[in-house]
Structure 1
Amino acid sequence: MPPQAIVVTREEAGQKLLQFLARRFALPQAMLHRWIRSGQVRRNGGRCKPFDRLEMGDEVRVPPFAASMSERADVGPVSANSDAVRNVPDAAAPRPAPSRHDRDGHDAMQPSRQRRPKADTSLQPARPLPPVVAETPDLFIFDKPAGLAVHPGTGHTDSLTTRLAQHFAKAPFMPTPAHRLDRDTSGLLLVARSYAMLRTLHEAFASHDALVKEYLAWVAGCWQPAAPVTLHDRLSKGAEASGFERVASDDEGAEAACTVRCLLREQHRSLLLVTLHTGRTHQIRVQLSRRGHPLLGDRKYGGPPRMGGFLLHAVRLCLPSGVVHTLLPRWAGNDALPQGFILPEPLGPVPASAIHADSACPCPRAPSDRDEGPDRGEADTDTVTEGRDA
């Protein structure tokens, strides 16, 4: 059987060779390394290295047995009707030999993290994708509903990424979420349709002010500061005795910063607009709880019980291109937004020096996790949620 060549598409351009192969084939990185180093993988007919950047139109030759070895041949690169895959003349290549010196390379977006989820091979039809708020050739912006996880996890196999794998099983580049929202958080979610866009969005998130994310949240208690307040904490993950993951404030944790504006103040609750400056797991939930204002329904962090989970919605995205997308939540009943509600203008960019400042916050902190907190001693029955933002 002759080797097969894969033509790099526009969506795949910019990836490192190892990333490209890891996305195309569900095989161990050490094996892919060996194929490349032994010459069984060729780029445009010549030898190549694992971290060579690929360009659109490059021809990557792989061994003829690559597809059959893939754990997910149904979403692999080989398709009889694919224009990007064709047979090429065979070339002598040494048999793969194990090497004790193979090591996984490091990259900002490691191949092992970029493999597509296994598509559902059952006879059931693919679950629908969330509504699309905006779409370009390189980007989806979805309206993620509360209750849908971005990635599968313990206790829940349905997720946005598994649905994407079902709908885009034959796509050369599976659309990939550029960030996360907690399972019970609703709202705007960016999904890259090309590697170049994924890398652009990751760089924008890293620069803090190039891409602005804002959230609406109903919290317990009457929020006192009338002016915008920037909250600073250091957060770290830990495991509770119940076995569930929990994020807590820690002097040695990762820097977390957000700016809070109060839009509506009632006797026992407040509606807040939160602008994120960093993206930490459960950041909004933890930082607000630490000030004595947990999200309504967020039992994990001391919020009062509420049917249907907590009320947190990704309401606005300001993209590096200058385009702004806004999506108000469809909360109902007592939680609905007031009639004629208008979202305030976004805050301007916050200097990095302000984000990383250690100055005291004018808003009082809640008791330390070492003290008797609002949810101390209460069994946590929630499923571990996914997310970096909320």
Structure 2
Amino acid sequence: MTETLPAMPVERATPLDPPTEYYQLREEQPVTRVRFPNGSTGWLVTRFEEGSAVFADPRLSARRPRHDTPEGEVTEGGEEEAPFNPTFVMMDEPDHSLYRRLISGRFTPKSVQQKLQPYIDRIVEEHLDAIEAGPETFDFVEAMALPIPCLVICELLGVPYEDRDGFHHATEVMMDMSHTRAERDAGAQWLIDYITRLVATKRETGATDGLLADLIAIADEEGSFLTDDELIGMGVLLLFAGHDTTAAMMGLSTLTLLTHPEQRQNLAEHPEKTGPAIEELLRYLTIVQFGLGRVAKEDLELAGQQIKKGELVVVAMPATNRDPRVFDNPDTPDFDRKMTRHLAFGYGVHQCLGQNIARAELKTVLPRLFARFPDLRLAVPLDEVPMDTYGTNYAVKKLMVTR
């Protein structure tokens, strides 16, 4: 007999809030067995304390199956092989740190400030100039939320920006769970083929620009542990994750400020609050739609529940970041909030590598956008703003605004 379990909630009643089912689960059963979209079963965690514990517990492995794919896509044993080598993001210690250290120097706050911030400043101003010279009503996603992160990740990796339409389309298809498995795999294969060709070209020409060139040099050292398969996997991962996530966050943050005039005014009058405002938006919005999973390497207990070896545990990050035990009035964005940390970038050794780049982009775009266009407003009613409810990351598909 099939076990009757609650289905993992993905529908949202309002565009800027998590599914309402999360609220009840968080209060009544913060660690509960659920059925995931693909029909597999496991545990869903909806409280902040327990979510942090999952990310920090070495008894829970980052090597996990997919849980966000459509129903019927569970393979034998409930696992789904990644279409490319995901390298360090699905490794446990000590291997995880060994690979992550290869590239972490490019992502430190100091490196981002010195090497990327001047570039971010320039391209943001160029795009704001283009908006000012263009029509009064425009799509913010197309005008800024997509191109800025694309430009930045291309600059970081050494990827030609003129290829952006191809890799963005492939990323959209690969991460959209409304597409078939074959379609998503085709998107992933496009990215694999693209990075494979780019690596070959950089090798042939001796290119030294960008992080991909750095990785090629490491892989080509005698006795290097970095294989070409791993190098290409890292390139694919950084390319799609580096622009899709920040684009989603930028669009949602802009929508939030457009619909919360008191916080928008607060930020305009107190630019020194930009840093705290970005952290609050990250907490409030938390774009990772289906949560992040871990697999128990041994039997363990979590919030009174007995988790068995091999079972999947998923942290519903949009729910944990709205936990009233940790955040006062959590469903309201508050740029004066005193906050020590949130889980928007995960937690522990696997905390998002690109978080400092995302922060730099958001800190540059949001205040300058509203300083340049103080009368910026939605061009359509809020309930007509199309939202991406099928992508791995929750996002605004199109954001029509009038300056």
TM-score normalised to the size of structure 2? 0.22
Q: Which structure dedicates a bigger proportion of its chain to strand?
A: 1
Structure with more contact order per residue of length (Cα contacts < 8 Å, sep ≥ 6): 2
Q: Which has the larger radius of gyration?
A: 1
TM-score (norm 1): 0.23
